[in-house]
Amino acid sequence: MARKSKKVDYVNAGSMGQQTASMPSVPKKTCYKAGLYARLSEETQANKERATVETQMELLRGFVADNDDMVAEKEYFDISYTGTNFERPGFEEMIQDMRAGRINCIIVKDLSRLGRNYVETGNYIERVFPFFDVRFIAVTDGYDSNKSGEELLMPLKNMVNEMYVKDLRKKMKTAHRAYWKNGEYSSGMVPYGYINVDRHLYPDEEVSGFVQEIFRLFLEGNALKEVARRLSEKTVNPKTHKMVRFSHEVPEGFNTGWNPVTVRAILTNHAYIGVSVHNRYARVNGKQVKQPKEEWIIIEDTHEPLVSREDFDRAQKMLGENTKAFHSTHGKNGYNHARFNLLGKKIVCADCGKVMGFRTEGVKHQKSFYRCKTYLADTHGACTNHKVSLEEVNRAVFDTIHAHMKVSIDAEALVKRMNSKTESMKKYDIYGKEADRIRRELQKTTEVKAGIFEDYREGLIDEEQYVQISEKYAAKITGLACRLDEMLKAQTRFSKEYHIDTDWKADIEKYISKRKLTREMAEAFVEKVIVYENGKLEVHLVYDDVLKELLDLRAERGGING
């Protein structure tokens, strides 16, 4: 016989008014507890003055006041969140309250306030809200999920909203290109030495002289490092200057000094001869990629230059000659650190936590070292001189990996031998039988849970009953699945064919015969190398945790069978 749930009608006692002597008042039944949601893509001063979110809320409050079958339970809003992304704090809070049953109606100004992604917005309106029996209303669009025929209108409006976003991006790109061709600076980072006023660049009188000094010092024959040192004695670097200008706060310990990389970037920037270069980068699949020179948009004479074209061209020629001289002295690849630094970002300073810098010292007898970047960045007080040679690091890492591989092979072989004994084989069978029993119970419980959903869909149980019973069986299924996983792992540990993790085994077999550290070996095994001030190294490997489990298993087998 099919199960039937007892239905009880509830009346909100708080809505009962007092009766007068002449005529009894009619109690108002509140059917919907509404969540009011407003969203604003970007908060600007103009938006604040117009109180855009508040305007949306006033509209929604008025709508609720005009309908006697609902009350405003709670208000939610998101400011400076795009409609194409549903990871918004206000929206997520509203969904949690919906799931908890605090609200059973969601009201927005229009469909675009809920979202501008056609697929996701449609999923919420057509699937999620109906599943929780939540009414959805978009006031100015005239959409109400309780009215028939609206399901044909909603997908079309959502598609229009998504098309609007794509069209807006296209128009913005076109507008930027129009600004560029008119010599206007509409986007991008303002070059050091300039300020942006109404989309036009003007010299920043406070620091433009330092740009000119950089060119002068370099053209006089000073190396980039020397130019950076002299600038550091007189002023802060561009990043710090920008920070001070906009926030007037510089974090304690922040590196305010100049470095050769920043000096070179200024020496090669065409902005300082009055030329604007745009479209050097494009966003592809969410990543910024460099555009070929043919795609660049170069506009001459867009603003006042800080240096002459003659000096700029001389600087480019000198930079090119320096590069050629470096290659002729040190070979075609020069100090190509990537060829020798096999650890990359995996080697760090024990004290400041920063990735260690890679340096090659000497001319005739070159020797490579890892040194703390924080110490080297002209802020010696921020950290100490952690220094260790490349040779020491590579030897320590290789020895650690090789010892790890040998211990792993020996331990695996011992566990296999131990598992061939009678007592281990009995345990293998016991765990296998328990795993089979759990599988049967898991299948039965899963079938019962599926039947509960069918009862809910057919109206035999209400939502509260469904959620309560479903959660109970979901917890039981989770527990059984965990227990089954434990039994299978335990059975594997007693198998005569026991073997270590497949990827781990493959890496060991691939590199066990190597006689020196390679980049591929470091990539496969090394998690992190920590360098201490006294030169001590601490090598952490990717498989350290599984090796520990294997050694524990070996010790356990030795205790059982020894």
Residue-wise DSSP of 397-436: HHHHHHHHHHHHHHHHHHHHHHHTSHHHHHHHHHHHHHHH
What is the rounded CA–CA span in Å between residue 507 and residue 338? Answer: 23
Q: What is the pLDDT of residue 248?
A: 66
What is the rounded CA–CA span in Å between residue 48 and residue 52? Answer: 7
Residue 277 class from Cβ within 10 Å (0-12 exposed, 13-18 middle, 19+ buried)? middle
Q: What is the pLDDT of residue 18?
A: 39
Q: What is the pLDDT of residue 478?
A: 85
Decide if pLDDT at 27 tops 70: no
What is the rounded CA–CA span in Å between residue 189 and residue 277? Answer: 12
DSSP-H helix ranges across 71-223: 89-100, 111-114, 118-123, 129-131, 153-181, 208-219
What is the rounded CA–CA span in Å between residue 356 and residue 388? Answer: 10
Give the range among 4-8, 332-336, 498-502, 546-550 with minimum mean pLDDT. Answer: 4-8
In tens, the pLDDT along 61-79 reads 999 998 988 999 999 988 8
Q: What is the pLDDT of residue 127?
A: 77
Give the range among 261-270, 439-448, 547-556 with minimum mean pLDDT. Answer: 547-556
**442: its two tokens:** 């898991």
Question: Quick check: is 186 in a domain?
Answer: no
Decide if pLDDT at 21 tops 50: no
Q: What is the pLDDT of residue 176?
A: 52
Decide if pLDDT at 400 tops 70: yes
Question: Band of the pLDDT at 4, cuts 50, 70, 90?
Answer: very low
Question: Band of the pLDDT at 49, cuts 50, 70, 90?
Answer: very low
Decide if pLDDT at 313 tops 80: yes
Question: Quick check: is 18 in a domain?
Answer: no
Question: Band of the pLDDT at 333, cuts 50, 70, 90?
Answer: very low
Average pLDDT of the residues in 174-199:
69
Q: Please say which residue of 306, 330, 354 terminates a domain.
A: 330
- Beta carbons within 10 angstroms of residue 90's beta carbon: 17
What is the rounded CA–CA span in Å between residue 432 and residue 412? Answer: 21
Residue 473: strand, helix, or coil: helix
| Beta-bridge partners for 76 | 37
Give the range among 168-182, 433-447, 494-508 with minimum mean pLDDT. Answer: 168-182
Percent of the chain at pLDDT > 90 equals 15
Q: What is the pLDDT of residue 73?
A: 92
Regarding whether 441 and 412 lie in a shared domain, the answer is no
Percent of the chain at pLDDT > 70 equals 71
Q: Please say which residue of 462, 495, 528 terminates a domain.
A: 495
Question: Quick check: is 4 in a domain?
Answer: no
What is the rounded CA–CA span in Å between residue 349 and residue 75? Answer: 49
Regarding whether 162 and 55 lie in a shared domain, the answer is yes
Question: Quick check: is 1 in a domain?
Answer: no
Decide if pLDDT at 332 tops 60: no
Residue 472: strand, helix, or coil: helix
Average pLDDT of the residues in 389-413:
85
Decide if pLDDT at 170 tops 60: no
In tens, the pLDDT along 359-381 reads 776 544 467 888 888 777 654 45
What is the rounded CA–CA span in Å between residue 177 and residue 150? Answer: 41
Question: Quick check: is 107 in a domain?
Answer: yes
Question: Quick check: is 181 in a domain?
Answer: no
Regarding whether 393 and 359 lie in a shared domain, the answer is yes
Predicted TM-score (pTM) of the model is 0.38
Mean of the per-residue pLDDT values of the chain: 76
Decide if pLDDT at 295 tops 80: no
The domain containing residue 91 runs over which residues? 25-166
Regarding whether 207 and 245 lie in a shared domain, the answer is yes
Question: Can you give the CATH number for the domain in which 252 is found?
Answer: 3.90.1750.20
Question: Quick check: is 81 in a domain?
Answer: yes
Considering only residues 13 and 175, tell me which one the structure prediction assigns the higher pLDDT.
Answer: 175
What is the rounded CA–CA span in Å between residue 303 and residue 98? Answer: 56
At residue 92's C-alpha, the angle toward residues 116 and 122, to 5°, is: 35
Decide if pLDDT at 15 tops 50: no
Regarding whether 455 and 476 lie in a shared domain, the answer is yes
Q: Please say which residue of 330, 354, 385 terminates a domain.
A: 330
Regarding whether 139 and 60 lie in a shared domain, the answer is yes
Considering only residues 296 and 227, tell me which one the structure prediction assigns the higher pLDDT.
Answer: 227
Regarding whether 405 and 263 lie in a shared domain, the answer is no
Q: What is the pLDDT of residue 530?
A: 92
Residue 504 class from Cβ within 10 Å (0-12 exposed, 13-18 middle, 19+ buried)? buried
* Residue at 446: amino acid letter: T
Regarding whether 455 and 561 lie in a shared domain, the answer is no
Considering only residues 329 and 443, tell me which one the structure prediction assigns the higher pLDDT.
Answer: 443
- Structural domain count of the chain: 4
In tens, the pLDDT along 105-114 reads 999 988 888 8
Considering only residues 288 and 460, tell me which one the structure prediction assigns the higher pLDDT.
Answer: 460
Average pLDDT of the residues in 13-34:
49
Decide if pLDDT at 8 tops 70: no
Regarding whether 429 and 550 lie in a shared domain, the answer is no
Q: How far is CA 227 from the centre of its chain?
A: 37
Regarding whether 548 and 416 lie in a shared domain, the answer is yes
DSSP codes, 530-554: EE-TTS-EEEEETTHHHHHHHHHHH
Regarding whether 295 and 229 lie in a shared domain, the answer is yes
What is the rounded CA–CA span in Å between residue 477 and residue 483? Answer: 10
In tens, the pLDDT along 207-252 reads 889 999 999 999 998 988 899 999 999 998 988 888 887 766 777 7
Q: What is the pLDDT of residue 37?
A: 94
Question: Quick check: is 5 in a domain?
Answer: no
What is the rounded CA–CA span in Å between residue 193 and residue 203? Answer: 6
Regarding whether 259 and 131 lie in a shared domain, the answer is no
